[in-house]
A and B are shown apart, each in its own frame.
Chain A
């Protein structure tokens, strides 16, 4: 794992957590949306919080796709679950909400999970004969031959 790859994982984590909280804030301002007034859903995009939230969620998707291009799904998902912790810390220190002991325990468990998975390898190395059936590895070898 290089520093840039950790940066991509941090991008996934931060964009998802901050994007979600921005959307939630904006949608509360925009008010409840009923099925009779679906047009208000389009107007909600004009809310600056919602617009910024959508932008961050696009950033999340881009960095998530990038991470999946070089790491296993079972590595990326736990490694980026620090976003839940970040959401709780935003609530504690920016919104001044109280965090109960159970929540601190939850934060500790998630952090332990992240610590566990990031100490292992990020990508499964396939044996050669198996790799030949996999499009990904074949493509990888093809591109390597170009170099």
Chain B
């Protein structure tokens, strides 16, 4: 019983940490690349894609997203979808708000906190 609980929540933690790291890294990469619409207009689509895939933060971000995908697959093979899915999704919204504030220095004001909490709560209710 306890082993089941530990395995469930450690896999949820693995998903949340990797997908959160992936989101933060990808967001950082895209802020460095700059406004894609504007760049596309000026330099063409191939140039934009080249700039994105050569960005080291982007490569790390994709790596983290791949890890997140595989941890989700492994978690789903051991546990119940109806618990893992919404738990990981809801916690990722909250973890992302903390990570974006800490690492990306985004201004996470009261409005954004309320939005993150509302969405996290809504995701849990949708799965209930």
Contacts and interface: CB of A to CB of B under 8 A. Distances in A.
Given A78-B93, A139-B32, A120 B112 contact: yes
B111 A119 contact: yes
Interface of B (DSSP majority class)? helix
A107 B126 contact: yes
Nearest to A104: B125
Size band of the interface chain B makes with A: 35 or more
A39 interface: no
A124 B109 CA distance: 10
Interface in B94-128: 96-97, 100-101, 104-109, 111-112, 114-119, 121-128
Interface string B10-41: 00000000000001101100111111110100
B112 A74 contact: yes
B109 A77 contact: no
Nearest to A139: B34
Interface of A (DSSP majority class)? helix
B115 A65 contact: no
Contact of A110 (B23, B32, B122): B122
A106 B123 contact: yes
A34 to B, nearest CB: 10
Contact of B37 (A4, A81, A114, A124): A4
A30 B42 CA distance: 44
B111 A73 contact: no
Interface of B: 23-24, 26-27, 30-37, 39, 42, 52, 93, 96-97, 100-101, 104-109, 111-112, 114-119, 121-128
9 nearest CB pairs, A to B: A106-B125, A113-B118, A109-B122, A110-B122, A117-B115, A106-B126, A136-B31, A68-B30, A113-B119
Given A72-B106, A106-B125, A106-B128, 19 more contacts: A64-B26, A69-B33, A69-B36, A69-B37, A70-B35, A72-B100, A77-B23, A81-B122, A84-B122, A103-B125, A103-B126, A106-B121, A112-B118, A113-B117, A113-B119, A116-B112, A119-B111, A139-B32, A140-B34
